[in-house]
Amino acid sequence: MMIRMKLLIVSDIHANLEALQAVLRESHDELWVLGDLVNYGPNPSEVVELIRSHASLVIQGNHDYAIGNGSDPRCSNAFREMARATQEYTEPLLDADQRAFLRGLPRTAARTIDGRRFFLCHATPAEPLFKYCLAEPAQWAPEIGGLQADILLAGHTHLPFTMNLEKLRIVNPGSVGQPKHGAPMACYALWDDGRLSLQSCHYPVEDTVKKIRSLPVPMGIRKQLAAVLFSGFLPDRSGQLAL
């Protein structure tokens, strides 16, 4: 007999406590996290502890790896300076146990729910931490060869999408804490009794931005981080906002 299961699937929280709390109000049986708990946002310790206490399954993102190991997250050029500055802020706020937790997260995971095989990664199956693949079949085709799964769950780009490729369904829930799809709303996915859907919800973004404006990082970094949260777009080098 099949058991009804409601999965809450999230990614790219980036230390945004208010956004995570809003998403967790969605009823669910299990919480699955596709990485990047930390960096960019003001509450890394609180987010790590909330995920540790609530999640059934957590995999490692590039920022989790970087904070856990004191290394380069190798993020996109538009965010490189923001990542460096906020990493210097984030690392001292996490104790040794929290950093060990991030460092020890698995890079991929596989689960079977009601006969459906799920494969989880932060970026892609072939390059779990760093590679960016948008919602384009030509980009994903080389990444999924030989993958034994029905549904591939991935994050990293902060852009929600669902796409069928061959016999595989690829789903990116978007970003909880730093959405880049053009709206200041926390994004997530739901698997509910065999149906998978993309969702989003409002959260008090002004509260998060108020914290960001008080961070001990350069003023220009604070302005960029705030602009990303308010707009749902990423800033280009001219100071304008571009996807």
Task: Work out whether strand 234-235 and strand 57-58 pair parallel, antiparallel, or are unpaired.
Answer: unpaired
Whether this model's pTM surpasses 0.85: yes
Residue 77: pLDDT band by 50, 70, 90 thresholds? confident
pLDDT in tens, 169-205: 999 999 999 999 999 999 999 999 889 999 999 999 9
d(CA 60, CA 165): 25
Domain ranges of the chain: 6-108+172-242
For the chain, the maximum distance between any two Cα atoms, rounded to a whole number of angstroms, is 58
Superfamily of segment(s) 6-108+172-242:
Metallo-dependent phosphatases (3.60.21.10)
